[in-house]
Structure 1
Amino acid sequence: MSDRQGLMAHDPIGPTLCRLHSTSKPRAVFRTPCPRTIPPHPSMHLLLFLLLWPFTALAMVFDLSTLDWTLVNQNGSISVPATVPSQMHLDLTRAGVITEPLLGINDFTERWVFMDNWTYTANLAPILRNGLDFAGQTLLVFYGLDTIANITVAGQPVAWVNNQFREYVFDVSFLSSATAGNLTVVFESAYYYGLNVSMRPDAENLLDAIVGDTFEVPADRAYIRKLQSDFGWDWGPAFVPSGIFRPAYLIALTNGANRNSTPNTTASPQPVFVEETSVDIYKVGQNFSVPANETADWVVNVTMAVRSAGTFTSPSISLAFPELNLTSPTFRLDPIPITKDSPLWFTVLWQIPDAIPERWYPHNLGTPTLYDLTVSLGLQRSTDVNVTVRTGFRTIKLAQLAYSREDIDTRGITPGDQWHFEINGKAFYSLGTNIIPFDPFYARITTEQVRWVLESAVRSGQNMLRVWGGGIYQPDSEADGVYDFYSLCDELGILAWSEFIFSDSLYPINDFMLESIEPEVRQNVRRINKHPSNVQWAGGNEIEGIVTSVNTSVSNGTIYLDQFVALFQDFLYDITVSETHSVPYTDCSTTKGVLSLDPYVLRFNNGTPGEIYGNSERYNYDASQAFNYSTFPVSRFVNEFGFHSMPSFYSWEEVLLSPDDFSFNSTIVMSRDHHPPAGNLSFPNPNAPQGQAEMTEAVELWLPTPSTPDSNQTFAQWCWSTQIFQSMTMMSEIAWYRRGAGQGENNLGALVWQLNDIWQGVSWSAIEYSGRWKVLQYGITTTFSPVMIYPFWTPDNETLQVMVTSDRWESVDGSAQLTWYDWLGNTLSTSTHRFTVPSLNNSLISQRLGLNAILPAGHNATNVWMLLNLTAQVDKKTVTNEQYFTPVSLANVPLVDPRIHMTATKNLTFTLSALGGVAPWTWLDHPAGTVGMFVDNTTGVPSNGFYLVPGIDRTLKFILNEKLSRITSPDPADFVLRSLWNNTHAS
């Protein structure tokens, strides 16, 4: 079901080294005849006007954010100034009608906002007064409407829309300088819309089949194409916002040929608007089921959608990579007529020899090399469209077929299917996290906030981020998306696992829904194609597991299985592979994999016992099992695993309004624990005590229970202690999964749930809403080191294995030192071990059985602990790694006052010395109003939350992010030092 009209590409003007194809998507193919030397390319940022290229190339652009907007509720009792892009909560906050939605219990008291209908209105007169020429076409462009809206212009109805994830272009050529009027967008309550649709007598009955999908707002989100976590999730609030949440423009097209392309309200109108573009780079012959031939030519596939107010009889197109000194011949296109209801599409294919461009790699495996691709669309002698796209060359494969007999026999791999990624023909270990929406209100997210989160991921060793399928399709420019995401991933060398927005629910598949979903999926696949960071498209989040359960647990379960197959195996797959050759598709984030790639057939539970298929996830909230390896999945790839924790005291200060609220189980704190979710609009969450109890039990079981004379210190230590446990258990899981690279499961992926926060509340995040790193983020840095040492302790049989794991493509040599200390800091024994770790593997450097053989002679388990240090050479650089082993819980060890002395300098360098004893989990906090990270002053690697040993000083430097910090010159005296000793003793 394609909405395209096609233009044929003819033989190029000049050289005729092209292959022509007469298909539904006409293509011109040119093969560059010879390789050449590639000049080095310095990294650079796209200028904003380049980000605006789709609509500034040859069109007069009016940014609708410059108009005076008004927001009015249904009965007219509220009327306030508004902005675009925005959402109604933000405009109401600016007007003083409500207070900041994240304060206190505003997520409860401000529910009335999403239960009302809201109208955005702006007078178009300022645009008309600027001499808009209406001789041609006038287009109204919305890059995002959230969600159910009626649009009128000058009193004339334009459209009714129902999909937050689509870009909309409407012809409003009826506008003229004589018909001054308003642009009005009326938003219906998404809450009531979904509820009403779900209650229609002809609505699919999903509720009996949905497993646990109701988080807060009643279960109607499956019936509306809107950000799913807007209705609440177990880590965030339910604000259900509406508004013109992404940029909007009015585009004027005429037959003129003025070349002014400045995006303002005084530019002269032009005849062409480039509505969409797709740049898909892949190998000749490559597609979803045919892996890339790594030595074959590259194919640069450029597809454009053009609207024109004029007729062009001899249009042409050419492509160029200036940094590579490569230019294609000029290809003639069929004549471009005047377009009305839909754009014209054309596709050009250009072949480039494999050896010419340098390849893009994730940052930990190579250089994320990018190039500027210039697309020149020639219309007539005085009119050209010159478009620049930043892109890169790489192949990506999701290996899902069976392991060979040779792999099983020679490598000891457990039979079954593969499930891992390969970049440029090489399997690699995916180290990363999952991301959720950066804010409950999309319109106020900034590129700087996102850059900080992504740079934090890079600094902690992550090479992959999974864009969770219950949130938003992440944008790739500020001009049409408010902030940037994918271009930052390209630049920083982060792979982005992308998903279509379907999550934890079954979904209706009636024609009405599918007609909305198809353009949503096509637009987003085409938009993101140009980004080499994109690693795959998954159909949705966790739905395969739901439907396989429903298939056997519900009497008519096969109906839902069939519907799942229709949507995720067939419909979404067909669309995806028709729009991209370079990126794989899988039906679901967590899946059993496939029986076949061509045809695409899902495996579900059709497997052989004892074999391993697909990927997996793990959540276990019984803290007593946190370090029990027998409860961890033996899997090819683990894409979700996590444990929740409190945000820091500093984050609570941002939202708690009364001194009485600063208590672990205060009503307000409990109201921000949505685990397990309420399942309805009850407030506070009646299930919060369970989530709070899980954190409480974890701290009491594994750490000294916080209790001091100062209630605020006690609360702060409780918050911090939940983060310590979270980090401890996640580090244990990461180490186990990485160890699996050398075991039968050949595990090649560990993605922690989750990286970022959507608000200040209980969550699984490693980074708080403000950008402050939790303990987990530093723990991830340690366990995502390219070479890692880890003690695997099995108390049931008293076995201690010390292993070194590497994610390198080459073998790694190094040495490890294992040192036993008592809690006073006395050295009891030490041993040194040389090691060599093969590629993507591990080496056992020590194994002891029985406490008598493990512990230093004459000491019991409560009085000693082991420091594990590693030094190795990786990529001609020295890599160090440090871990700790305590034979018993830290709740049961005889800690002594470490008497930590801290020396600080004005440049925010801090030297820490333990004068009295060992300080487990020594932690330095930066003051409120600052964003940044602590790094080891010698290595530059992020460091915090370590064991401080007498005689081994630590020097940390605080790296301040000035753009995100309210305080840009923090006083070193405002930094707070703590350790586990402070759980029971005054700071």
Structure 2
Amino acid sequence: MGRFLAALSLVASCVSAQSIFNLSDVSWTVSNGVNATVPGKLPSHAHLDLLAAGVIDDPIYGFNEWNQFWVQRMNWTYTSGPLKGLGLTSWLVFEGLDTFCEIKLCGQKVGDTKNQFRKYTFDVSDILPQCKGDPVLSLNFGSASKIVLDISQRSDLATVNSANGYNGQEFQGRTYMRKQESDFGWDWGPVFGPAGPWRPAYIVQKAKTDPVYITNTAIDIFRQGQMPNLSPDQSKPWVFNASIDYIGDLPKGSQFHMKIVDSKGHTLKEANLVDISQSAGTITGNTVINSKVDLWWPSGYGEQPLYTATLSLISPGTPKHATVTKRVGFRTIVLNLNAITPEDRAKGVAPGASWKFEINGHELYAKGSNFVPPDVFWPRVNQTKIQQTFELAVNSHFNMLRIWASGAYLPDWAYDLADEMGLLLWSEFQFSVAYFPATPDFLAEYEAEAYYNTRRVNHHPSLALWAGGNELEYLIYGWWLNPRNNTQLEDYETIFQQHLAKCVYANTHSISYIPSSTYHGYTKLDFNSVSPQTSRYDYMESPDAVYLDTDFYNYDGTIAFQYSGYPVGRFADEFGFPSMPSVYSWQEAIPESEFNFDSSYVRHHNRHLSSGSDWFAQSAAGINQFTDSIKLWYPLPELADPVANFTAWTWTSQVFQADYYQAQIAFYRRGSGLSNRQMGALYWQFNDIWVGPTWSSTEHSLRQKVAYYAAKDIFNPVIVWPFYDEATDVLEVWVVSDLWDKVSGTATLQWVDWHGNPLDVDPPVGVKPAHDGSFKVNFDVQPINATRLVTYPALTTFFSCKNPTSNALLSISIKAGEYTHTKFFHQQSLRLSSIADPGLVMSKSLHGKTAQFKITATKGVAAWVWVDYPTTVRGYFDQNGFWLNKGESRTITFTVWDDWSYGAWINDVVLRSIYDNVHN
């Protein structure tokens, strides 16, 4: 079933069981009670309604973030129009309120909320009879940035974080609220602190024949005997465990019924669930499925068959009280943190513990990136944007996205899309790199939030992991920023090793849990303990043991490509370097007159700060980190036209980022065949929340940076890569594969100059060249492994004044069955290389929703060939940012999402390469 039909069926099932009044269908006003009253919407944020009414301009344009600071410092009240035709027995149901909200009906207080991530229900049956006239609902949202400062003054929170206001980049106090933390700013995003009813809301009216309303559903499909974090027995049958949360009174003797059908409508199983248990507002049961099922696989490893599961609550002799439908899949997914076995040690794997995902019993090399909120205002994020974001990910050979903590939990329909596309979602609770209070009131909020969201998304086969939060162990244990504080360590263990672990393990057998994204693993796993995982922290079995996943950033461009400086771990979940967005994105955010790196507008939109005397100096220092890197490694743009020069500089910053990402990803992937048995690379970050210099590979509009295509290239299943160590002057060429089967093929290598002419360079010892100097090497690569092709032990000795390294390129290509890959190696930086005019020519054609471009290098080698499209179209290429040898042609395809030019956009496509930095 398609995602939209599935969503409609779910709504229809709810409507058939209850009378539901959608509060999006009534009129609303929003007011601060002082100087602004405008029409409102639900879902919405106050900023969006003010924007729609013309009270404020585009919040992300120019300095509007600062100019509109007053919006987040005020209270905003959403008031409904008259609610007609309500029955006397009713509940208010809110999918999400952001964040501190007082709810009133007919002027009487209904309740307060203080958690953006919870679903709230209120029985208003006693209030409705007292209403004079048609009921009116009001939602009064307080200023989160004011409220957290008051909360921070509590004496029982003295050991947490300071909260001293706004520093120009971030607003302090984010740990004192259960709200998206990046709303208070981050080093890639602005400070808006929005408020409003950010998700749908309903009035549910009770009927005698339909006495309950389903508020949440948990479905857990796992192998019999399976436990979280442990590899299951793949020969065991499947257990289907289901649980429904509801409001109302479920009649005694009610049956819990299930039916599961495949995509063709064939019934896999239909039965009443057994082992029924009931508690306040929850009913749970299970059944065993012995039938053969089609397994769900991540993208690149198989199909994504989905089944439809229908759960019903039925009393004998009566119609169904309530029914809910969910799409599910059959798969096992485990994060294996077990100790390295003697068998693995015998194969050369270093001692320590694994850090790898296993899907349906197979090791998986995780390839992907990190996902941040796609907009500063979630109510304007629609299914199309998420679908296109995931489409870009899957087309880039991703099998995983990490849904970063300190954003928001994704809606169900986002997981539905991931289910369909085969994209695994590493999910996290919303806690990030800070000390969080562990007082009883906060712990209660954490548990309510975690229980709700864990149960809500557990049925999705795309769900890969629950992590307690982002970068917590590094900070708490004193490895980073501050010395260890034992009270804060105890709070961390209480929250993340006890309470959140309990929330996960109480609701799923199928999903692993770790307390922190960066995690050294555990020495003991005991599900009967208050703290099921005994964290390893700094305990090591031996000095050469390897345990953790790595989180690595370096902003010194002089060592950007020194492989010896990259971390050696079992998994890489964060690494990267910021770059500028394209000039096309800047056009949407700042005036063209400000198109220079020293502009106060550009500095304002940069949140990656470094040292400096004031905020703008710190921003300039942050920008200088990548401009200094450009000066080290690439020809410097020196174009007379200021807009063209700005365009070239922004693009070259993206080339450096792409170069850097490829080098690191290649390094990590090679680790799959080394002693550290490295099993994943997720770069930081995939998408953007606004327009500004960030680590992203796609911009706010989803326009792709050079790094997007570079990542796609290096995430090919089988790749070839040259690793050069400048200190030792050793060049090694490796082939890497993440396939589950052995792969065999042939590599062709040839030294050429920048004009594409073959060079007379001796091959490595034992290799016989052809008449043109090229040579071939056969190779075999074992499953998820790497093998070395050739070694140049002292590279510079292979060259002479006649053939200097500044005019030498090693062209490498491989073919292994259906898999091909190419790479050019240059020992000298492109800044010092003798780059020649490649003589690029391009032909183009448009056929409906696709366009094709054939690019040929007629005179020489073309480095970083780039085809860019105007703002009158949206879409993506299948390839971009590549190299061409002299005489080589490549045809690339552009897929159109939106075209506002009726096809005329194709005439404004721009072709460039690194040569054009100084010759344009």
Distance in structure 2 (CA, Å) of the matches to 1:334 and 1:583: 22
Aligned AA (2:281): L
Distance in structure 2 (CA, Å) of the matches to 1:507 and 1:807: 39
Show the counterpart of 1:392.
329
Structure 1 gap segments, 5+ residues each:
1-41, 257-269, 337-341, 478-484, 936-942
Show the counterpart of 2:82.
124
Match of 1:840 among 762, 780, 784: 784
Q: Secondary structure at the match of 2:650?
A: helix
Q: Secondary structure at the match of 2:97?
A: coil
Distance in structure 1 (CA, Å) of the matches to 2:364 and 2:479: 35
Match of 2:289 among 352, 355, 374: 352
Match of 1:624 among 558, 569, 573: 558
Contact 1:155 1:181 in 2 (8 A): no
Distance in structure 1 (CA, Å) of the matches to 2:121 and 2:12: 16
Q: Secondary structure at the match of 1:278?
A: strand
- Residue 167 in 1 paired to residue 96 in 2? no
Q: 1:356 to 1:698 in 2, by over 3 A?
A: same
- Residue 80 in 1 paired to residue 38 in 2? yes
Q: 1:638 to 1:211 in 2, by over 3 A?
A: farther
Contact 1:551 1:557 in 2 (8 A): no
Contact 1:678 1:685 in 2 (8 A): no
Per the TM alignment, residue 692 of structure 1 is displaced from its structure 2 partner at its CA by 0.8
Match of 1:253 among 193, 201, 206: 206
Aligned AA (2:559): Q
Show the counterpart of 2:341.
404
Per the TM alignment, residue 383 of structure 1 is displaced from its structure 2 partner at its CA by 2.1
Show the counterpart of 2:821.
881
Q: 1:824 to 1:314 in 2, by over 3 A?
A: closer
Contact 2:750 2:775 in 1 (8 A): yes
Distance in structure 2 (CA, Å) of the matches to 1:673 and 1:179: 53
Distance in structure 2 (CA, Å) of the matches to 1:285 and 1:215: 53
Q: Secondary structure at the match of 1:375?
A: strand
Show the counterpart of 1:363.
299
- Residue 235 in 1 paired to residue 169 in 2? no
Contact 1:254 1:309 in 2 (8 A): no
Match of 1:864 among 779, 801, 808: 808
Show the counterpart of 1:918.
861
Contact 1:660 1:666 in 2 (8 A): no
Show the counterpart of 1:284.
224
Contact 2:865 2:883 in 1 (8 A): yes
Distance in structure 2 (CA, Å) of the matches to 1:576 and 1:133: 38
Distance in structure 1 (CA, Å) of the matches to 2:671 and 2:366: 13
Q: 1:350 to 1:313 in 2, by over 3 A?
A: closer
Distance in structure 1 (CA, Å) of the matches to 2:522 and 2:509: 19
Aligned AA (2:105): V
Match of 1:506 among 408, 432, 435: 435
Match of 2:8 among 25, 39, 49: 49
Per the TM alignment, residue 773 of structure 1 is displaced from its structure 2 partner at its CA by 0.8
Per the TM alignment, residue 761 of structure 1 is displaced from its structure 2 partner at its CA by 0.4
Match of 2:452 among 523, 532, 535: 523
Show the counterpart of 1:21.
none
Show the counterpart of 1:145.
97
Q: Secondary structure at the match of 2:401?
A: strand
Distance in structure 1 (CA, Å) of the matches to 2:831 and 2:509: 55
Distance in structure 2 (CA, Å) of the matches to 1:61 and 1:220: 38
Show the counterpart of 1:676.
609
Match of 1:735 among 636, 642, 666: 666
Contact 1:315 1:332 in 2 (8 A): no
- Residue 219 in 1 paired to residue 159 in 2? no
- Residue 813 in 1 paired to residue 744 in 2? yes
Distance in structure 2 (CA, Å) of the matches to 1:289 and 1:580: 11
Contact 1:789 1:868 in 2 (8 A): yes
Aligned AA (1:369): P
Q: Secondary structure at the match of 2:140?
A: strand
Contact 2:256 2:311 in 1 (8 A): no
Distance in structure 2 (CA, Å) of the matches to 1:527 and 1:832: 54
Correspondences of 1:53-202 after superposition (within 5 Å) = 55-73=14-32, 75-125=33-83, 127-128=84-85, 132-134=86-88, 137-174=89-126, 175-176=128-129, 179-202=133-156
Show the counterpart of 2:764.
none
- The farther-off stretch of 899-908 and 789-798 is 899-908
- Residue 613 in 1 paired to residue 547 in 2? yes
Once the two structures are superposed, what CA deviation does each residue of 1:746-778 show, in whole Å capped at 9, x if it has no partner?
000110001000011000001111011110010
- Residue 779 in 1 paired to residue 710 in 2? yes
| Number of residue-to-residue matches in the alignment | 893
Contact 2:425 2:464 in 1 (8 A): yes
Show the counterpart of 1:494.
423
Contact 1:435 1:755 in 2 (8 A): yes
Aligned AA (1:838): Q
Distance in structure 2 (CA, Å) of the matches to 1:510 and 1:216: 29
Match of 2:793 among 832, 846, 849: 849
Per the TM alignment, residue 866 of structure 1 is displaced from its structure 2 partner at its CA by 1.7
Contact 1:71 1:81 in 2 (8 A): yes
Per the TM alignment, residue 899 of structure 1 is displaced from its structure 2 partner at its CA by 2.7
Q: Secondary structure at the match of 1:294?
A: coil
Show the counterpart of 1:32.
none
Structure with larger RCO (C-alpha < 8 A, sep 6+): 1
Distance in structure 2 (CA, Å) of the matches to 1:722 and 1:401: 41
Q: 1:830 to 1:441 in 2, by over 3 A?
A: same
Distance in structure 2 (CA, Å) of the matches to 1:970 and 1:407: 59
Once the two structures are superposed, what CA deviation does each residue of 1:318-358 show, in whole Å capped at 9, x if it has no partner?
3333545233333589999xxxxx962111111012x6111
Match of 2:838 among 876, 883, 898: 898
Contact 2:579 2:653 in 1 (8 A): yes
TM-score by length of 2: 0.93
Show the counterpart of 2:687.
756
Structure 2 gap segments, 5+ residues each:
527-531, 760-772
Match of 2:269 among 327, 335, 342: 327
Q: Secondary structure at the match of 2:478?
A: helix
Distance in structure 2 (CA, Å) of the matches to 1:93 and 1:691: 31
Contact 2:610 2:621 in 1 (8 A): no
- The farther-off stretch of 720-729 and 965-974 is 965-974
- The farther-off stretch of 494-503 and 570-579 is 570-579
Per the TM alignment, residue 842 of structure 1 is displaced from its structure 2 partner at its CA by 0.9
Q: Secondary structure at the match of 1:232?
A: strand
Distance in structure 2 (CA, Å) of the matches to 1:476 and 1:968: 35
Q: 1:794 to 1:227 in 2, by over 3 A?
A: same
Per the TM alignment, residue 359 of structure 1 is displaced from its structure 2 partner at its CA by 1.0
Distance in structure 1 (CA, Å) of the matches to 2:77 and 2:40: 10
Aligned AA (2:119): E
Q: Secondary structure at the match of 2:690?
A: coil
Q: 1:506 to 1:193 in 2, by over 3 A?
A: same
- Residue 275 in 1 paired to residue 215 in 2? yes
Q: Secondary structure at the match of 1:654?
A: coil
- Residue 203 in 1 paired to residue 165 in 2? no
Contact 1:167 1:523 in 2 (8 A): yes
Per the TM alignment, residue 53 of structure 1 is displaced from its structure 2 partner at its CA by 5.7
Contact 1:307 1:343 in 2 (8 A): no
Per the TM alignment, residue 685 of structure 1 is displaced from its structure 2 partner at its CA by 4.3
Q: 1:213 to 1:381 in 2, by over 3 A?
A: farther
Distance in structure 1 (CA, Å) of the matches to 2:168 and 2:368: 26
RMSD of aligned Cα (Å) = 2.4
- Residue 566 in 1 paired to residue 489 in 2? no
Q: Secondary structure at the match of 1:687?
A: helix
Distance in structure 2 (CA, Å) of the matches to 1:303 and 1:271: 18
Q: 1:53 to 1:404 in 2, by over 3 A?
A: farther
Distance in structure 2 (CA, Å) of the matches to 1:224 and 1:547: 19
Q: Between the two proteins, what is the percent identity of the paired residues?
A: 36
Once the two structures are superposed, what CA deviation does each residue of 1:24-70 show, in whole Å capped at 9, x if it has no partner?
xxxxxxxxxxxxxxxxxx87654332242674240111110111101
Distance in structure 1 (CA, Å) of the matches to 2:698 and 2:557: 22
Once the two structures are superposed, what CA deviation does each residue of 1:82-115 show, in whole Å capped at 9, x if it has no partner?
1000001000000111001011111111111101
Q: Secondary structure at the match of 1:412?
A: coil
